[in-house]
Amino acid sequence: MKGYKDTRIKDARMIGNEALIQMRGVVKTFLSPAGEFTALKGVDASFRRGEFVSVVGKSGSGKSTLVNMITGIDRPSAGEVVVGDVMIHRMDESEMSRWRGRNLGIVFQFYQLLPMLSLVENVMLPMDFVGVVAPEEREARAMRLLDMVGLADCAHKMPDAVSGGQQQSAAIARALANDPPIIVADEPTGNLDSRAAQQVFDIFDELVRQGKTIMMVTHDNGLAQRASRRMLLVDGEVVHETVATTLPLLTHEQMLVATKYLQTRRFGPGEPIIHEGEPNHHFYMILEGTVDVTLMRAGGGHETVAQIGPGEYFGEVSMMGTGASIAGVRAGLRAPVEVAALGRTVFLDLMGEAQAMREAIGRVVRERMAENAAHGGPAGMGLTLEGVACGG
């Protein structure tokens, strides 16, 4: 048993900068009186040490099922769930219980404090079950954790004698009892008012600064956007993060369509991506690196007029008009660039369905055409936005 303990703690804590949690082709199917329901459909996802990831999506999108794959509350019907180099989906219930106690802290929407125990006794309970902390040190550690979440003065009160926000703070302290590297929170603010929700988020923020990895399922878009990364699920599938951030005015279903048609490409330093005056058939979103926007000068040669990086996009001017580019685009000269590309037909179909997104990109098109003209380039080469309204 001692060997098991040492191995598991090391596996979860010493992964360094690599992915701490990996989900590979995870499928989860449930049986119901109405037949089979697939909650997760081949999910590939990874989470690094020290990340604060919010998991968002509509009810029934698979958010809770996804985190339940990591906590071991549910097991995948197919695929793998790996934490460190431990394949937790292969553990039996006894192994999973021991591993979970040492490596995971779980925070629930409805606190799940034992009503017959004081707050400090609730925090001590996981220490009693797991045995990582020496018996004589447990109460002192519980008090330190309650002090960290602002509840030292309430330590000996019963759960029903404090507010909902204080109960959730105590539940967070309990989740930290055995100093786990990973915190999983399923709708931790769903039963709280905005002020208490903010306090809980602030605690999570501090834990991330201390090196904890946090996965938080939430319906609160305001809090979700403050996490270091936002994972969007739609009908059991993960939307590409760049699609969700670059095209935020698409519906979730449209984002999933874009994800399915996305092509990832890599260009070496200085490699041309779009040639000025030539047809372009893709809308590009930058994943990593930078690109130079260039104009050809009358005397020959190209001048760099702008440089854009991750989270920005290009190719929209030619995509929303005749297909000819008013400027050239190449990978930055110092390093490769990785981009995600959508083909013309898919892009225009999406823009035809999403008026707000079309109008937002249209404003960028006009700005870039004006900037291009100011640098002495063509003012649009006859490009027009009218065709976009009906999908091109």
- 243 assigned to some structural domain: no
- 177 assigned to some structural domain: yes
Query: So what's the pLDDT on residue 10?
Result: 35
- 250 assigned to some structural domain: no
Lowest mean pLDDT among 68-72, 153-157, 299-303: 299-303
Average pLDDT over residues 130-149: 91
Q: Residue 347 — very low, low, confident or very high, per pLDDT cuts 50/70/90?
A: very high
- Mark whether 223 and 319 lie in a shared domain: no
- Mark whether 229 and 289 lie in a shared domain: no
- Mark whether 163 and 64 lie in a shared domain: yes
Q: pLDDT per residue over 215-237, tens digit each?
A: 999 888 888 888 999 999 999 99
Place of tokens 């459909």: 41
CATH of the domain at 148: 3.40.50.300
- Mark whether 180 and 280 lie in a shared domain: no
Alpha-carbon distance 61 to 66, whole Å? 10
Angstrom CA distances, 223 to 58, 176, 291, stand at 15, 21, 32
- Mark whether 196 and 287 lie in a shared domain: no
CATH of the domain at 318: 2.60.120.10
Average pLDDT over residues 348-371: 87
Query: So what's the pLDDT on residue 53?
Result: 95
Domain C-terminal end among 238, 267, 302: 238
In this predicted structure, the answer to whether residue 391 has a pLDDT above a threshold of 80 is: no
Torsion (CA) 142, 204, 53, 167 in degrees, nearest 10: 70
CB 76 within 8 A of CB 89: yes
Q: Residue 324 — very low, low, confident or very high, per pLDDT cuts 50/70/90?
A: confident
Query: So what's the pLDDT on residue 2?
Result: 30
CB 184 within 8 A of CB 218: no
Beta strand 182-186 with 104-107 is parallel
Place of tokens 């009503």: 115
Query: So what's the pLDDT on residue 14?
Result: 37
Give me the number of domains the chain comprises: 2
- Mark whether 234 and 262 lie in a shared domain: no
- Mark whether 201 and 272 lie in a shared domain: no
Q: Residue 373 — very low, low, confident or very high, per pLDDT cuts 50/70/90?
A: low
Domain C-terminal end among 182, 211, 238: 238
Q: pLDDT per residue over 9-51, tens digit each?
A: 333 433 344 689 999 999 999 988 888 999 999 999 999 999 9
Query: How far is CA 139 from its chain centroid?
Result: 36
- 96 assigned to some structural domain: yes
Count, residues in the chain: 392
Q: Which residues lie closer than 8 Å to 266 by C-beta, 6 or more apart?
A: 336, 337, 338, 339
- 275 assigned to some structural domain: yes
Query: HEC profile for the chain?
Result: CHHHHHHHHHHHHCCCCCEEEEEEEEEEEEEECCEEEEEEEEEEEEEECCCEEEEECCCCCCHHHHHHHHHCCCCCCEEEEEECCEEHHHCCHHHHHHHHHHHEEEECCCCCCCCCCCHHHHHHHHHHHHCCCCHHHHHHHHHHHHHHCCCHHHCCCCHHHCCHHHHHHHHHHHHCCCCCCEEEEECCCCCCCHHHHHHHHHHHHHHHHCCCEEEEECCCHHHHCCCCEEEEEECCEECCHHHHHHCCCCCHHHHHHHHHHCEEEEECCCCEEECCCCECCEEEEEEECCEEEEEECCCCCEEEEEEECCCCEECHHHHCCCCECCCEEEECCCCCEEEEEEEHHHHHHHHHHCHHHHHHHHHHHHHHHHHHHHCCCCCCCCCCCHHHHHCC
Query: So what's the pLDDT on residue 241?
Result: 92
In this predicted structure, the answer to whether residue 364 has a pLDDT above a threshold of 90 is: no
Beta bridge partners, 341, equal 263, 284
- 245 assigned to some structural domain: no
Average pLDDT, the chain: 86
Q: Residue 322 — very low, low, confident or very high, per pLDDT cuts 50/70/90?
A: low
Place of tokens 């008012």: 193
Residue range(s) defining the domain that contains residue 202 = 2-238
- Mark whether 153 and 297 lie in a shared domain: no
Lowest mean pLDDT among 243-257, 326-340, 354-368: 354-368
Place of tokens 């509509």: 58
Q: Residue 156 — very low, low, confident or very high, per pLDDT cuts 50/70/90?
A: very high
In this predicted structure, the answer to whether residue 3 has a pLDDT above a threshold of 60 is: no
- Mark whether 177 and 264 lie in a shared domain: no
- 247 assigned to some structural domain: no
- 248 assigned to some structural domain: no
- Mark whether 304 and 195 lie in a shared domain: no
- Mark whether 202 and 69 lie in a shared domain: yes
Among candidates 112, 208, 89, which has minimal Cα distance to 159?
112
Q: Which tokens in the block code for residue 64?
A: 């809770």
Alpha-carbon distance 348 to 345, whole Å? 5
Query: So what's the pLDDT on residue 326?
Result: 82
In this predicted structure, the answer to whether residue 131 has a pLDDT above a threshold of 90 is: no
In this predicted structure, the answer to whether residue 392 has a pLDDT above a threshold of 80 is: no
Q: Residue 296 — very low, low, confident or very high, per pLDDT cuts 50/70/90?
A: confident
Question: Percent of the chain beyond pLDDT 90?
Answer: 57
Q: Residue 288 — very low, low, confident or very high, per pLDDT cuts 50/70/90?
A: very high
Alpha-carbon distance 138 to 123, whole Å? 9
Query: So what's the pLDDT on residue 94?
Result: 87
CB 247 within 8 A of CB 255: yes
Query: So what's the pLDDT on residue 375?
Result: 61
Alpha-carbon distance 150 to 145, whole Å? 9
Query: So what's the pLDDT on residue 381?
Result: 41
- Mark whether 43 and 179 lie in a shared domain: yes
